[in-house]
Amino acid sequence: MKDNDNVYFRARKEAAITNEKLYSREGAAELLGVSVSTLADYELGNTKVVPVDKVNLMADLYGCPELKTLYCKKECPIGRMMPLATQAGSIEGATIRFLKEFDNGKPEDMRSSLIKIASDA
């Protein structure tokens, strides 16, 4: 994998716009507490699973919290087994289910429930 296709590389380069020390692998490696060759392995995809503590450090140092989410979905053995999302329904289906409840004579119960949900109470 080329380094410019790698999320860790792209995140570092984006962060280098505001922190010139991140422009080089040497500077970033020093801040991350890893060797230059280790950081190169992360950025070139040579490391199968980047240690979670280093992902957290990179996410914080680079100002890129998405690295944590990506790690959990793509690299973590448990996360890789999880589906991307639950089954999504259409707005039409949700509307029909909503209106059906009104036909069942439950508008006040629904009103109370919706107010609770909306207010996080």
pLDDT at 1 exceeding the cut of 90: no
Do 20 and 40 sit in the same domain of this protein?
A: yes
Do 77 and 93 sit in the same domain of this protein?
A: no
What range does the domain containing 94 cover? 89-121
Tokens at 94, concatenated: 């949700």
Per-residue pLDDT tens digits for 16-37: 999 999 999 999 999 999 999 9
Q: What is the CATH number of the domain that holds 67?
A: 1.10.260
Do 57 and 93 sit in the same domain of this protein?
A: no
- Percent over 90 (pLDDT), the chain: 47
Do 70 and 121 sit in the same domain of this protein?
A: no
pTM to 2 decimals?
0.63
Do 11 and 45 sit in the same domain of this protein?
A: yes
Q: Across the chain, what does the average pLDDT equal?
A: 83
Do 100 and 75 sit in the same domain of this protein?
A: no
| 84-97: average pLDDT | 67
The total number of structural domains in the chain stands at 2
Do 73 and 100 sit in the same domain of this protein?
A: no
Do 75 and 48 sit in the same domain of this protein?
A: yes
Per-residue pLDDT tens digits for 35-82: 999 999 999 989 888 999 999 999 999 999 999 988 888 888 787 777
Residue pair 24/32 in contact by the 8 Å Cβ criterion: no
Do 8 and 34 sit in the same domain of this protein?
A: yes
Taking 3-state DSSP, the helix, strand and coil percentages for the chain, each rounded to the nearest 5, stand at 70, 0, 30
